[in-house]
Amino acid sequence: MRDRLGRKIDYLRVSVTDRCNLRCLYCLPPQGVRPKTHEEILRYEEIVRLVEVAVSLGIRRVRLTGGEPLVRLGLTRLVAALAAIPGLHDLSLTTNGTLLAPLAEELKRAGLRRVNISLDTLRPERFRAVTRGGTLADAWAGIEAALAAGLHPVKINTVAMAGVNDDELADLAELTRRFPLHVRFIEVMPLGADLDWAGAHVLPMAAVRAAVEKVGRLEPAQVAGAGPARAWRFPGAPGTVGFIGALSETFCARCNRLRLTADGKLKPCLASDVEVDVRGLLRRGAGNQELEGAFRQALELKPSHHDLASYPGHARVMCQIGG
């Protein structure tokens, strides 16, 4: 599929839940948000049908997200059903890792290819503060389980935050010298509940890279995936380092994705409130042709660029989008 600007769209991010077992500072307000009801959330068979339609139109990569996708019961069953769709080349998962350890092998056997695991700090007390109650040991156990299960490449998503973890960036990058991990530093995006907080903690990617390069020279590298990060490596390191600057180094011109929210809305852009309702179509008995039309409508609505730099207010916070 190509959008109206000629960008090839072959990647669909599918949120399976808006619920999460953590309350990260950049994602949720302290009190959380009202979760969708069971009836509002897409059923697994509805997700499978929509992905089948998407693949028939040219989607080749699917990533399961949340909230935290592992809080939804029976996720392995969904993974197996999606992995069996002819033409789907890559199936991955984004998780905070804290629930992954007992499920990693099962997910791999079901057909999951790889994982992205959120990790913003290597300090237990800071991890507890950033996640509002999470346990670093649980997240690290998830990382180790992913490596052991062969969910390669195992990517680490680190939100770089001024005044929060900017003194740990080099330490996090050093993980790539010790393990076959692929650490990607991500700028804070103003999609949480507190836009003033987000704006005050943005750390430009140039500053992040400068901090990382203080501990070693980086050389270009390659790593599998469809994301926006450019990969680099410390010479001889088994892992890589990447930088994703949604604000300071925009990549909209090469955006290749659509998003499907847990409540059945197609989002052409993470940072836009524009949505196309596909849950309503499904539950009214729409045929595949009508569902294909919804995907094409989403393509037509995909903007040329996001408006994050102006810190606008959005109708949904990150966990409700499936970022």
Residue type, 37: T
Provide the number of structural domains found in the chain: 1
- How far apart CA 83 and CA 51 sit, in angstroms, is 11
Please give the pLDDT value at position 311.
45
Q: Is residue 5 a part of any domain in this protein?
A: no
Alpha-carbon distances of 154 from 92, 173, 227, 241, 303, rounded to whole Å: 10, 14, 13, 12, 31
Q: What is the pLDDT of residue 307?
A: 62
Retrieve residue 308's tokens: 């994050």
CATH number at residue 188: 3.20.20.70
Query: What's the CA gap between 205 and 136, in Å, rounded?
Result: 25
User: Is 2 part of any domain?
Assistant: no
Report the pLDDT value the prediction gives residue 69, as an integer from 0 to 100.
98
Confidence (pLDDT) at 28: 80
Distance separating alpha carbons of residues 262 and 153, to the nearest angstrom: 26
Question: Which pair of tokens denotes residue 247?
Answer: 């604000």
Domain that holds residue 207: 11-321
Residue 286 lies in a domain: yes
Count of H-run helices and E-run strands, the chain: 11, 12
Is the Cβ–Cβ distance between 69 and 12 less than 8 Å? no
Could you tell me if residue 137 is inside a domain?
yes
Quick check: is 3 in a domain?
no
pLDDT along the chain (323 residues), means of 10: 91 96 86 86 98 98 97 98 98 98 98 98 98 97 98 97 96 98 90 68 91 94 78 96 77 85 93 91 97 96 69 54 59
Task: Pull the structure tokens for residue 30.
Answer: 């302290």
What percent of the chain shows pLDDT beyond 70?
Answer: 89
Both tokens assigned to 290: 């009508």
In a domain, 63, yes or no: yes
For residue 113, tell me if it sits in a domain. Answer: yes
56 located within any domain: yes
> Which tens digit of pLDDT belongs to each residue from 226-261?
567 789 999 999 999 999 886 656 667 778 999 999
The DSSP H or E segment spanning 126 is helix 124-131
